[in-house]
Chains A and B, each alone.
Chain A
Amino acid sequence: MTQTLKRLPVYLVLLVGAALSIIPFLWMVIASTHTTAALFATPLPLLPGGELWKNLARLQQETNFSQVMVNSLVVAVIYTAFSCVVSAMCGYGLAKFRFRGRGLVLGAVLLTMMIPMQVLLVPLFQMMASLGWVNSYQALILPFLANAFGIFLMRQAFLDFPDSLIESARIDGAGELKTFYRIVMPVARPQLAALMIYTFISQWNSFIWPLLMLNTEDKYTLPVALNTMIGLSRVDYSGLMLGSLLATLPLLLVFIIFQKQFVSGLMGGAVKG
């Protein structure tokens, strides 16, 4: 009993925290079921209204939402897959291979994290324009394939991996690729899962670069398409809320799927002695 009483303040704090994180989502749900005009009324509507289907139809009609959703998925999935492969391989190389200038390469990779995106916009834009890649998906994916954060994360993950395991794999006749794929990667699954979630979310939410690159409405990704609902003297808040709500669902799904990997990748006594 006293134990429970002692914990009461903790629960209260947690309750406040939970409310603070849930209320915006709840508001998103409620707002997406009203007309925009109703959202300006006082008092604010606190219960869901009956405009959901109308809002959905308008969202689909004005932004071609289903197409945009597919576009976003395609870009984010391809980017996540390739970017994680590059990060893992590069991180492995930097962690486990000894070569001249290794520290320098790592330093250079980390240094790129310090360059703000705004500085890159114009030069990168010119580069894409001269390659003829404006309004293409490779322009969204390729420039950011080597992701400094991912490389660093994977390098840290591989650092602790016992060299003796790699050596024994080599002695048993496994080639470099096989050693990497069969012996090293399975152990780094938790970190890889975390990286996948991170890269997927960052590409899914990415706004300013796709906005600059994509010039036809049928190629827009979600954030760029939702942005068109913000007009000069009129903002379609209910459509915007519904779009944001639907845009959050895939993220939730990705998180649920990969969360399991966080706990299942334990190393469990691979090295004896």
Chain B
Amino acid sequence: MPKAMKLAAPLLALALLSGCATGGVPSAAGTKLSSDAAVSGQITVWSWDVAATALKRLSKEYTKEHPGTTINVVDIGYDNAYDKMSVGLQANSGLPDVITVETDHMPAYIHQFPKAFTDLKPLIGADEAQFDPSKISASSSADGKLLSMPWDSGTVALYVRTDYFKAAGVDPSKLATWDDLITAGEEVKAATGHALISTDLSTGSLFQMLLQQQGQGIFTPDGAINLTSAAAVKALALIKTMNDKGLLDNVKGWDGRVTATKNGKSAVMPEAVWWIGTLTGEMPELANKITVVPLPAFTAGGTQTSNDGGSTLAIPTQAKNPQLAGSFVKFMLANKDNQVSMMKDEGLFPSYLPALDAPLFHAPQAYFGGEKVYELFAAQTPKIPSITYTSDNAKAGDTVSSAVVAAVLNHQDPAAALKSAAEQIATATGRKIAQQP
């Protein structure tokens, strides 16, 4: 993903400013939303990319059902969206009625601007249990408010090059654990000369994915640093083992991953469901050469998925028409038909679980040789482990990446590298390091 490294400087400047900007804190906690309020007037919605396309398309349906309303959808672009939104949150003015925020970004916003978002719980009530649980926990505040509504999930599975596995005589559907996959990787390498996984080690995203698969994050639920846990060491040791056996292909960034996949550098790709869009869009020539299986587990029978990406919709307390905004958000996201149609037209994989029963998710996919790949993702989505995000996740991310590079490329002991990273984060954030049993 063209990721947000370049956001760091302006965001840091904003953080420094938070002390001296005047009038930046909303006084009230926003309007109390009601699920059956009368709606009228107009709202503006900020989004990007295919999400904006989906909003524009379905807003027409909404206004048809609710005469006298107008929905303006603006594509603000993804690359600098958080600069734009952070300034609006800081200044407490200038934001529209609805904004799109990625799931990973929401916890930091909730922490930094606790009063800037409207509680969406009254809109859906008990329906909250119908969403991907990992998304709900990322969108909730400590006092139990739901400050953004989950939109799509980044359910992770393993994309496998079937031709490479066939050449090595390995059956990808038999991969139960990561150890199995490493053995298979060695056989594939011997038979075809290809690596197992192409990843950008300097982002640390593979490590964080493996950590979440084991139900843990960089921080524990009570906010302590979790890098010295057995799960963290296991995740890093796994990456190191793969690299030591020559099974890793280290690439640079999003473009590097796309190029490596297109050119068939590696045999498997642990990627989210939205990777399908990249495959069909940028590499149609790989049709019928790829299959999807659940992630291998750490121990047989364990969790076989993780999460990478996904977005939510939030209503700032400064919204001018919060009731219409709430009604529209509910219409878009807590609605089976609309979630299914966004999957069909824009490839946004629903976090709203009832939508996953739709026939679309049981249909064979031509690109994958007629396999029902969405069925697999649908089955895994409710099993994505919930983890704790804190306001320091972004800050800790860089230190974690350095630890990954130190252990994997510079041959440090994984436990030692993680311990030193945990100490650095403790110094930088003032958080405690979690005591390990």
Enumerate chain A interface residues (CB-CB to B < 8 A): 36-37, 40-42, 116, 118-119, 121-123, 125-126, 129-130, 134, 207-208, 211-212, 215-217, 224, 227-235
Contacts and interface: CB of A to CB of B under 8 A. Distances in A.
A233 B83 contact: no
Interface of B: 1-2, 9-10, 13-14, 17, 21-24, 44, 48-51, 72, 74-80, 83-84, 87-88, 90-91, 93-94, 96, 102, 254-255, 258-259, 262-263, 274-275, 277-278, 281-284, 309, 311
Given A42-B263, A121-B87, A211 B282 contact: no
Given A126-B93, A208-B83, A118 B281 contact: no
23 contacts: A36-B282, A37-B283, A41-B262, A42-B259, A118-B13, A118-B17, A119-B13, A122-B91, A123-B21, A126-B21, A126-B91, A211-B80, A211-B83, A215-B96, A216-B74, A224-B77, A232-B78, A232-B102, A233-B1, A233-B275, A234-B278, A234-B282, A235-B255
B281 A230 contact: no
B9 A118 contact: yes
B76 A228 contact: yes
Contacts of B93: 125-126, 129-130, 134
B2 A230 contact: yes
Given A208-B10, A233-B277, A234-B278, A215 B87 contact: no
B432 to A, nearest CB: 32
A108 B409 CA distance: 52
Contacts of B76: 211, 215, 228
A216 B76 CA distance: 9
A233 B259 contact: no
B94 A134 contact: yes
Closest 5 pairs (CB-CB, A-B): A231-B49, A118-B13, A227-B77, A228-B77, A129-B93
Nearest to A134: B94
A3 B288 CA distance: 65
B13 A116 contact: yes
A233 B75 contact: no
Contacts of A233: 1, 49, 274-275, 277-278, 309
A116 B12 CA distance: 13
Given A40-B262, A119-B13, A217-B75, A231 B87 contact: no
B259 A230 contact: no
A119 B83 contact: no
Nearest to B75: A228
A217 B74 contact: yes
A210 B278 CA distance: 30
Nearest to A208: B83
A215 B255 contact: no
A231 B53 CA distance: 12
A228 B284 CA distance: 24
Contact of A232 (B22, B49, B74, B91): B49
A135 to B, nearest CB: 9
A234 B87 contact: no
Contacts of B23: 126
B48 A215 contact: no
B91 A227 contact: no
A137 to B, nearest CB: 16
Contacts of B51: 232
A129 B91 contact: yes
Given A40-B255, A42-B259, A116-B13, A230 B77 contact: yes
Contact of A231 (B24, B44, B50, B263): B50
Given A208-B80, A230-B78, A122 B48 contact: no
Nearest to B347: A233
Nearest to A228: B77
B1 A232 contact: yes
A134 B44 CA distance: 14
A122 to B, nearest CB: 5
Contacts of B13: 116, 118-119, 121
A228 B78 CA distance: 7
Given A119-B17, A121-B87, A216-B72, 16 more contacts: A37-B284, A40-B255, A41-B263, A121-B10, A121-B14, A122-B87, A123-B21, A129-B93, A211-B80, A212-B83, A215-B74, A227-B77, A231-B49, A232-B1, A233-B49, A234-B282
Contacts of B80: 207-208, 211, 227
A121 to B, nearest CB: 6
A217 B76 CA distance: 8
A233 B280 CA distance: 13
Contacts of A207: 80
Nearest to B259: A40
A125 B85 CA distance: 12
Contacts of B22: 126
Nearest to B96: A215
A208 B94 CA distance: 15
A93 to B, nearest CB: 33
A149 to B, nearest CB: 21
